[in-house]
Amino acid sequence: MSDNNYIVSARKYRPSTFASVVGQQSLTHTLKTAIASGRLAHAYLFCGPRGVGKTTCARIFAKTINCEHPTADGEACNECASCQAFNNQQSYNITELDAASNNSVEDIRNITDQVRIPPQGGRYRVFIIDEVHMLSNQAFNAFLKTLEEPPEYAIFILATTEKQKVIPTILSRCQIYDFARITVPDIVAQLQRIAADQGVEAAPEALNVIAQKADGAMRDALSIFDQVVASTEGYITYQNTIANLNVLDYDYYFRLVDTFVAGDVPQSLLIYKEVRDKGFDSLFFINGLAAHLRNLMVAQTPATRVLLEMDEQVSGRYVDQAAAVSAGFLYRAVDLCCTCDLNYRDATSKQLLVELTLVKLCQILKPVEVRRDGAAPTVSPQPQPAPPQPQPVAQPQPVARQPQPVAQPQPVAQPQPAVNSQAAAGESRPASIRRRPATTVASADAGSVRISQLTRADDTSKPATNTGHVRREPFTDEQLLDAWKAYIATHPNEHVIVSTMQMSPPVRSGENQYTITVASAVQETFMNDNKAKWLNVLRDTLNNDLLSIDITVAETEPEHAILSPRELANDMAARLPQFRKLVDELGLQLA
């Protein structure tokens, strides 16, 4: 049977005392202290997000300052004539104006006319102007004089969600109180009290979903609560709550992260299909995935777990999954999701963009080898047959050619170059591309020691060759080229490195030694400065710490100087005897 006296929860449970206001304890304490001490301003501005209690606190404040017998803790007694009149909405001392629909100069003049009437049965006349930022400039100007010098019994309380739209001359005449968003735990606690009062059973996970959906607004949370209660017949579960509110279950995101860790591309695409089949927008899905990854990041550190704003059961799942992934993986994953979000609106095939992002997320930990023979790609491929095991770096075979010494020359040991097509191509490079001397160490104390004479200390943080922990997995030129392309595909934001790598593929110059030729000294410096970053990724991909890549600059033809007309004439006279003879016969002066 329907109840004709039904009142929505947002009205039924609207706070009537400062103590019942949710999530604004510091602000309500300040107001009660001001009332108890008699330090009342003539104008207040309550600002903050919607549904956090601005207008409610204004009404409680107006009721309390007119109470004839306030309690010891600064609350209204609810028994005197003034309190009874306020509770019955019959008080003549409190006037409310909705500036959203009454924003003209004439409406403000009506308020200023009412200010002249002293209070009836109380000490103060309180004027509450809601959504004050909606007043026109002319109305603001008409209100200025009254707001600055009102009668001693008049108090103005202005409420707004957009303080920046209130003109500075109004702001300077008010005491400003900023209302904060109500936290998820505070909303959940209030909803639990209301559910118990109504005899409704509610799962904590369901109330947490409602609180997060409300986005810090208690009024919105109560409206959503009523909607869910109406559709669940008195028992609120997590599943019927997300179904009623069209919220995507976070279990999908937990499953997706598991596929990213496992490198399971097909399963991640199938999960995405499930989400789309349920009618969820792809942009909503990718933003939800980014939020899930953000929650995993804050769950990795105990000090930041308070940022999760969810119940202990759900936060425990985040902590468990966060322990299974690295911080570097999460940073890279969030960056890919944000890039997808930025490109989503301009993408022609939005579904393909999201699917490609999921593929990249699966390849962060387990890069996929691109096969050139047309076969299906494999994850974490086994190395193909390679040339014989190379000699240890500590005892390489010397080559006939020695590099140019810089200071304290030492013969540089080079391993015997392997015979293959790329090595042959490297030997037949044009004469215009010459090998530059090896770049010296950047430190001032390092002198002029060559990088090729060091143990590549500036390239990598791997242990030295004499520790017994150096990875020596053999690899082919094709595998290096695949790792090279994989780095380009997975690091699109490193623009200089990626563009340089695209234009300069590696060429073998020795056993485990390669060379790339860049176009300018600027590229050479940048690639050397960031060498530890990209070279370590290649070494990890190939499982070989002996990989070495040198950077050289292609020498270009010297630029022709631009000569002035006089310099050009002198040059022609020096090179052409006939021109000099003509100048002498005509008696001309060239200089």
User: What stretches of 310-445 show up as alpha helix (H) in DSSP?
Assistant: 312-322, 327-344, 350-362, 421-427
The per-residue pLDDT for 343 is 93
Tell me the domain boundaries of the chain.
Answer: 9-178, 184-245, 250-366, 421-553, 560-591
Instruction: Quote the pLDDT of residue 415.
Output: 45
Tens digits of pLDDT across the chain (591 residues):
445 678 888 888 899 889 889 989 999 999 998 988 888 999 999 999 999 999 999 999 999 998 888 888 888 888 888 888 888 888 888 889 998 888 888 888 888 888 988 887 778 999 999 999 999 889 998 888 888 888 889 999 999 999 999 999 999 999 999 999 998 888 999 999 999 998 889 988 899 899 988 888 999 999 999 999 988 877 888 888 988 888 888 899 999 999 999 999 999 999 999 999 988 999 999 999 999 999 999 999 999 988 888 878 888 899 999 999 999 999 999 999 999 999 999 999 999 999 999 999 999 987 765 554 545 555 444 444 444 454 444 444 444 444 444 444 444 444 444 434 443 334 444 443 444 444 333 333 333 333 333 333 344 444 434 444 788 888 898 888 889 898 988 888 887 888 888 888 999 888 888 999 988 887 888 888 888 888 989 988 888 888 899 999 886 544 555 667 777 777 777 777 777 778 777 777 765
Are domains 184-245 and 250-366 of this chain identical in fold? no
What CA–CA distance (Å, rounded) separates 172 from 411?
78
Q: Which two tokens stand for residue 385?
A: 């047959």
Report whether CATH 3.40.50.300 matches the domain 9-178: yes
Contact 143, 135 (CB under 8 A): yes
- Answer positive or negative: Cα dihedral of 301, 304, 308, 314: positive
Task: Return all residues near 105 (Cβ < 8 A) that are at least 6 apart.
Answer: 136, 138, 139, 142
Residue range 184-245, CATH number: 1.10.8.60
Nearest to 386 by CA among 345, 420, 337, 358: 420
Angstrom distance (rounded) from CA 75 to CA 28: 11
Tell me the one-letter amino acid at 91: S
Query: What is the enclosing helix (H) or strand (E) of 43?
Result: strand 43-47
Written as six digits, the tokens of 567 are 């310099």
Please tell me the predicted confidence (pLDDT) of residue 271: 95
User: Which residues have CB under 8 Å from 518's CB, separation 6+?
Assistant: 500, 503, 504, 524, 527, 551, 552, 553, 554
Q: Domain 250-366 maps to which CATH number in 1.20.272.10, 1.10.10.10, 1.10.460.10, 3.30.1370.60?
A: 1.20.272.10
User: How many whole angstroms separate alpha carbon 346 and alpha carbon 348?
Assistant: 7
pLDDT at 466: 42
The whole-number pLDDT of residue 319 equals 93
Cα–Cα dist 366/360, whole Å: 10
Amino acid 134: pLDDT? 92
Which residues are registered as beta bridge partners of 518?
A: 553
Both ends of the chain: CA-CA distance in Å?
Answer: 114
So what's the pLDDT on residue 1? Answer: 42
Which tokens sit at 236? 């609120």
Handedness of CA 294, 295, 296, 300 (dihedral sign): positive
Q: How many CB atoms lie within 10 A of CB 12?
A: 13
Q: What is the pLDDT of residue 175?
A: 92
